[in-house]
Amino acid sequence: MIDQFKKLLGIPPLASEHGHDVDVLIIYIHWLMIALFVGWIAYFAYALFRFHQKRNPKADYIGVKSHASSYIELIVAGVEAVLLIFFAIPLWAKAVEKFPTEAESITVQVVGQQFQWNMRYAGKDGVFGKQEMRFVTGNNPFGVSPDDANGKDDVQLMEEMHAVVNKPVIVYVSSKDVIHSFKIIAMRVTQDAIPGLRIPLHFTPNKEGRYQINCAQLCGSGHATMSRGTLIVESQAAFDEWLSKQTPGSTGGFE
Ligand SMILES: [Cu+2]
């Protein structure tokens, strides 16, 4: 039933573990909206017929006496409460409480800027170099300290992100200029990228493939070009091979 509705609504392909629950919530909300739509349209047609001028030449100053509308209102509020309490809140609680540890995950830093996504990996040592705001330049969007040895093997990329299938990914999202929004539809994740804040999010991809990364916040004239980004989900071996081939350097790929 859920799968048929996914098709009917044209819900895009899914490739993350928690995404199914997001889709289920979307579908239930659509059911409620369909019921409300049909109900309102039916009532509108009834009102046109029932309160037509010819049938009611004189205004009625008493108005409605039945409590049907209040009961219907209560039922709708009840359904909304069920969606919120039993679907939305548990889903959010899972996302917040079941945060994976960095040891079991792939950690990526993402900085949005007009108009591209910058990605940064810790490199072979698994430790990110120190960052400071004053080091941020056009070539160093993450503000990596040039003096920190840990940053020497960090890997920086533009519009490209790699992840391992069935392994959690932690993304620290930030922005260099205006508010952007980091979105990967296939992973069912969206997070605003806000200057001065570093906001963590996580997901676990469960299907190998290439997925589009978008900017979901109108951020300027080149906003659309921020949808060039690609997330590549691959095997651990392919990921390790890719990482070993990257040119290390605190400003790698930007000089
Ligand atoms: Cu943007």
Identity of the residue numbered 8: L
Residue 158 CA to ligand 1 centre (angstroms): 14
Element holding 34 (H helix, E strand): helix 19-50
Residue 230 CA to ligand 1 centre (angstroms): 15
Q: State pTM to two decimals.
A: 0.84
Residue 254 CA to ligand 1 centre (angstroms): 19
pLDDT value of position 216: 94
Locate 225 and state its tokens: 């070009």
DSSP of 129-163? PPB-GGG--SS-TT-B-TT-GGGTT-EEEESEEEE
pLDDT value of position 238: 93
Residue 183 CA to ligand 1 centre (angstroms): 10
| pLDDT, tens digit only, all 255 positions of the chain | 788 888 888 999 999 999 999 999 999 999 999 999 999 999 999 999 988 888 888 888 887 888 988 999 999 999 999 999 999 999 999 888 889 998 899 999 999 999 999 999 988 778 888 888 888 888 888 888 888 777 778 888 888 999 999 999 999 999 999 999 999 999 999 999 999 899 999 999 999 999 999 999 999 999 999 998 899 999 999 999 988 888 776 454 444
Residue 237 CA to ligand 1 centre (angstroms): 32
